Amino acid sequence: MTIYSLYIFDRHCDCVYYQDWHRTRPVRTPADDRPGVHRLAAPVAPGARESIFSSSGPGTPGVPTVPPKRQGGLPFDEEAKLVYGVVLSLRNMVKKLSGKDEQFTSFKTAQYRLHLYETLTGFKFVLLSDPSADSLRFVLRQIHTGPFIDYVVRNPLVEMDSRTQGIDNDQFRAAVDRHMRNLSIFN
């Protein structure tokens, strides 16, 4: 199984943190980039998948390959808005159809599974994984109660309600990366 990416949204619906592990297409930086939200990834490996939504892989010998388009895909801010929009829409639909006591925790398609963990302070942790993965809500809870509390909430240098800057903390990024790579389902 594969873990693709992690988004953290604040109570203002802004993406304050992003990290990916198996994304092969580089993120297009938006014009109004928030510092600290994401880091530019290393160059794409040749023959790798274009995105989690593409089933293309290494080329077949003797079959001509089409060169990838330059700067294809959405800018990061648009992608984050779409992810948050899916979360918000499905959460509201679940509340209307099932009542106030039900929670939206995950959503599965043929290409990925979206996992959601919401905190009492309004932060939303969203994890995209392989569709065959079981619920990873416990992983999001561990990230919240571990590295997030230790390196973000307890850090006096991090402004929690900043509308201009994301979570720019190398220790938090390293702790999240280490936590995810130590999971048995991480590929």
Global confidence as pTM: 0.73
Taken as a whole, the chain contains a residue count of 187
According to DSSP, residue 32 is labeled T
Structure tokens that stand for 73 in this block: 């895909």
Q: Which domains are delineated in the chain? A: 3-41+72-181 (3.30.450.70)
- In whole angstroms, what is the distance from residue 76 CA to residue 147 CA? 24
- In whole angstroms, what is the distance from residue 66 CA to residue 57 CA? 12
pLDDT digits (tens, 9 = 90+) for 134-156: 889 999 999 999 999 999 999 88
Q: What residues pair up with 6 in beta bridges, in sequence order?
A: 19, 127
pLDDT digits (tens, 9 = 90+) for 16-27: 899 988 765 655
According to DSSP, residue 28 is labeled B
pLDDT digits (tens, 9 = 90+) for 44-103: 344 444 444 444 444 444 444 444 444 557 777 788 888 888 888 888 888 888 877 778
Structure tokens that stand for 53 in this block: 């939504």
Expressed in angstroms, the distance from the first to the final Cα of the chain is: 6
Q: Where are the alpha helices (DSSP H) in 99-169?
A: 137-143
Structure tokens that stand for 107 in this block: 């959503």
What phi, psi does 130 have (nearest 5°)?
Answer: -60, 145
Structure tokens that stand for 5 in this block: 């990416």
